[in-house]
Amino acid sequence: MSQIPALIPTSLLLASLLSLLIGLKSRRGAHWTALLGAIAAFAFSLMGVKAMIDGDGEAIRYAAGNWIPPIGIEFVLDSLSAYMTAIITFIGVIVLIYAPRSLALETPGRERMVYPSMTLVLAGLVGMCLTGDVFNLYVFLEIAALAAYALLAIGDRGAPVATLRYLLFGAIGGGFYLLGVAYLYYATGTVNMADLSMRLPELMESQAVIVAAVLMVVGLGIKMALFPFHFWLPDVYTNAPSVSSALIAPVMTKVSAYAIIRLFLDVFPPGFFTANLPLAQTIGWFSAAGIIFGSVLAIAQHDYRRMLAYSSVGQLGYIGLGIGLANPIGMIGGLLHIVNHALMKGLLFMIGGAVRLRFGVTKIPDFVGVGRAMPWTMVAFTVGVLAMVGIPPTAGFFSKWYLLLGSAEAGAWVWFAVIIASSLLSAIYFFRVVEMVYRDPESDSAVEDREPLPRGEAPASMFWPITIMAVSIMAVGIFNVLIVSALLERVAAPLGG
């Protein structure tokens, strides 16, 4: 049991290496190795979640190389990291099942490099969630980012330029974070999170600690695509292969948000981000601006993937609002939105890939008649849309509900209004697509001369992952109380209440 924190990233790292080597001989072997590694990591994550629910939330600590912390690096599995790793590895398994057919169409001949990169992204992300060391977090952050650059750059013609821009801003974000670690190290003499949380309370007034906190949050904010640092995101998601977007859009940016939450709740002393230094409020206001900005720009997009990318900018804002509210119920809403948005965005990008595979279309006006050609996939799409808008009993409703309760409790009526307004805005841009999908192609003058779309769902390897995601959205919505009471209430406990 005490090995779980190390087993989750190592099974993925090992799978990545093996998948690379086996990929030299067999493409199918590379896929299966990556998939098995992800399944193993998901199983270990579930064991971790179970251990957290059964136990009283006592963290499982693993000292790497048996070097006792704070001298050695430790991996820590607590309620928050168990929750995050379960989400990441679940999305990983689903997208890896989905991947082969889509990759064969969109990146022919280059699939064998994709599977090792995908597992490496997952390894970096779970590593970020499990590490108990602020510098180690930087290393895992860059592992995930480097593998993600490779995954994103193999896409359409515009992909290398978009990825290079992402890489440059990612390097600035990583650099700021590292500089913050340096300040923190010279203020306290340690990079271990548990050790830092013991030494920081007496240094609350220290200028070096304040500079460190600002630098780290700005760095992670760039990586998280927090408004106004979001500008790299739309181009990247628009040009990337569907599989890369389906893997990276749901989890990558959220893990940087997780890192901010970890610093906020567990590393810096209670009240440091709210009372000493109004960082949480600043994140909240930028997030509120990002929600409106992303939603409005999403309405203006013609490309399905670009619309989803702008919608992501907006949706990330909800997690930021959870940080900004800084009360337990708001934080629970923000954390719950991590799993909700991961499922919803993963589903919608996967459906985009399936439609592209069947009909080769990515522009929203070309979606006319798809509802008749792929009826079940479009049922899943409708579930995803209802969740994005936030209609009960889908998952999307409950995170917004908690955020609304949190805003009311904090008296943040502007943020309350922003959440309501953005639900209406997302209804506008998503129902526009739904209308296209179910429009009768024969009575539509724009596509009258087009051949009718042949009826038929996506191949089974893509159809079932989509179905599982849609069912999960409903399940997370219906059982959200279980997640909240078993894991998230404990995570948000340091905020009081």
Q: Which of residues 170-189 bind other proteins (CB under 8 A)?
A: 171-172, 174-175, 178-179, 181-182, 185-186
**319 and 337 in contact (C-beta within 8 Å)?**
yes
Does residue 139 touch other proteins according to CB under 8 A? yes
Does residue 138 touch other proteins according to CB under 8 A? yes
CB of 145 to other proteins, least distance (A): 8
CB of 63 to other proteins, least distance (A): 16
Query: Nearer Cβ to other proteins, position 181 or 462?
Result: 181
One-letter amino acid at 372 equals R
Does residue 167 touch other proteins according to CB under 8 A? yes
Does residue 158 touch other proteins according to CB under 8 A? yes
CB of 170 to other proteins, least distance (A): 8
Query: Nearer Cβ to other proteins, position 211 or 486?
Result: 211
Helix, strand, or coil (residue 77): strand
Q: Cis ω on the peptide bond leading into residue 228 (within 30° of 0)?
A: yes
Q: Which of residues 242-301 bind other proteins (CB under 8 A)?
A: none
**166 and 173 in contact (C-beta within 8 Å)?**
no
Does residue 161 touch other proteins according to CB under 8 A? yes
Contacts by 144-148, CB closer than 8 A, 24 or more apart: 144/120, 144/252, 144/255, 145/170, 145/174, 145/223, 146/120, 147/117, 147/118, 147/120, 147/121, 148/117, 148/121, 148/244, 148/248, 148/252
**118 and 36 in contact (C-beta within 8 Å)?**
no
Does residue 163 touch other proteins according to CB under 8 A? yes
Angle, in degrees to the nearest 10, between helices 242-262 and 328-359: 170
CA terminus-to-terminus distance, the chain: 32
CB of 139 to other proteins, least distance (A): 6
Query: Nearer Cβ to other proteins, position 108 or 454?
Result: 108
Name the segment binding other proteins (CB under 8 A); options: 11-19, 94-102, 117-125, 153-161.
153-161
Does residue 146 touch other proteins according to CB under 8 A? yes
Dihedral angle sign, alpha carbons of residues 468, 474, 476, 482: negative
β-strand partners of 277:
none
Half-sphere exposure of 489 (CA within 13 A, CB side): 10
The binder of other proteins chosen from 80, 130, 153, 404 (CB under 8 A): 153
Does residue 149 touch other proteins according to CB under 8 A? yes
**256 and 193 in contact (C-beta within 8 Å)?**
no
Name the segment binding other proteins (CB under 8 A); options: 35-43, 169-177, 345-353, 484-492.
169-177
β-strand partners of 363:
303
The binder of other proteins chosen from 157, 411, 443, 445 (CB under 8 A): 157
Number of residues that bind other proteins (CB under 8 A): 27
**Chain residues in the site for other proteins (CB under 8 A):** 135, 138-139, 142, 146, 149-150, 153, 157-158, 160-161, 163-164, 167-168, 171-172, 174-175, 178-179, 181-182, 185-186, 191
